Structure 1
Amino acid sequence: MIDPIRRKLSQTIDRALEHKQNATRQNLITGRLSKKQLLPLVIDNEPRVFYKNDLESHEFDAVFTLLIDCSASMFNKMDETKKAAILFHEVLKELKIKHNVIGFWEDGFDAKDDEQPNYFHRVITFDESLQAHAGPEILQLEPEEDNRDGYTIRVATEELLARQEKDRFLLVFSDGEPSAFNYSENGIIDTHEAVLEARKQNVDVVGIFLGEGEIKEHEAMLMRNIYGREHMLIPDLEELPDSFSYILKRLLLTTI
């Protein structure tokens, strides 16, 4: 099921980028995308917006972290979420963009006032992400217990800030509702503050909600309250390619 969707996304990418070109020419139907002319491509599919030059191929100076909520409330969505994460991983690997994939949860049974054990299952590391065999490890992720999203976002942000890449992206796959020990009252506020803190440090945070069909109003409002305008509501996996184009366009605009 992943392969046809990945191919569709790859075709979108191929229309936008052409690497290792020679001899500068304007208004071609193939070549490297002109930053000033990206918008017409998005709006009206006008193909003659490329140029070529004798420079080396453009490499994305970007890095991604994919955070996967492994709380118990993700039980009915975990299979679709893993498929979505595998799709993102395969596309980023094709673009040669380093990334990591982390499942996160809190041990609700052992949590107490002075200690809340949080776990990070690093199924794909930055160094492994571009290797040909990387990907199946994502299937290891399973629903566990609670989720302290604000803390997790802060940890992931620190790790991204330690990277050398210019553009840093943090994608959070979640059902939107933080829930952990003594966290229910301020979990949404704390997670929202963690998102704002990351963005102030130039980490681009996007919340991704995978639904089970129709998105309910309270689910949409929850994602809005935490992530503001920077979130995606995806009723099912088939709609992911069109939604992913949003992130691709931003990536192109910021890194070309």
Structure 2
Amino acid sequence: SAAFEAAADGAELRIDEAAGSVFAAEVARDRGLAGPLRTYGTACAAGNYALGAAATAVRKGTVTAAVSGGVEPFSKIAMLGFARSRAMSGDLCRPFDRARAGMQLGEAAAFLVLEREDQALARGRDPLAVVGGLGLSGDAFHPTAPREDGSGMAAAMRAGLAAAGIGPSEVGWVCAHGTGTLRSDAAEARALHTVFGDQTPPVASVKGALGHSLGAATAVQAVVAVQALRTRTLPPNANLVEPDDSLMLDVVIEPRPAPELRWIMSCGYAFGGLNSALMLGRA
């Protein structure tokens, strides 16, 4: 519900908390951006949704450039909700670890500027990366749990590959959703094996280091992926002590040089079975 605050003199009425659209509106007002505004309420996949939509709008010529990303301030309500659902770890978040016991929440904001490559070059700016496409799917299964076989996640991954026009063998790293929960990590591993088979690329989650920032999570992942492409180095999966061998994944545990890195798949899945896979490529 909206919270209204009247100024001391009664002359001003502010809406401090309102519908989700306020986030895009605030960024636009702060930066003087008068183009189309859109806020996605797709939880942990929202950053991917936003970046995919922005890339499409730029490609179609709907806008000449776009500022797109995600933000998630700390919320006591979210903290209590996840704690009551027993999804929180009492220790560190350990994605893909045999002893993983849940997530740790984080807060974050991450944004990228998207424009056509020729336009960026004309301005004297070197593009950092390219958005190859976005794959989406729905589980149609459970309000909070993923399908155990990872089939919904796999469908989004395949759609992402198709959108980018590339094959599975061209992906050099998967920036995984990797929340550190038993079921989600296992389902994601099954999805990866379904799509990539025995050629599953190296995998890592940033949530061990940065926590799960919910609505900002996939935007944060996109920034990490861009940096990986620029430096041709795969970031490590923090807090991994004993890899879960049953997942059969090549989890990156230390920064790993990747001179041939060209494509990254960044995955995010949200409550309700909203699955997303954003494809980012080297510029």
TM-score range (shorter-chain normalised) is under 0.3
When normalised by structure 1's length, the TM-score is: 0.27
When normalised by structure 2's length, the TM-score is: 0.25
Considering Cα pairs closer than 8 Å and 6+ residues apart, tell me whether 1 or 2 has the greater RCO: 2
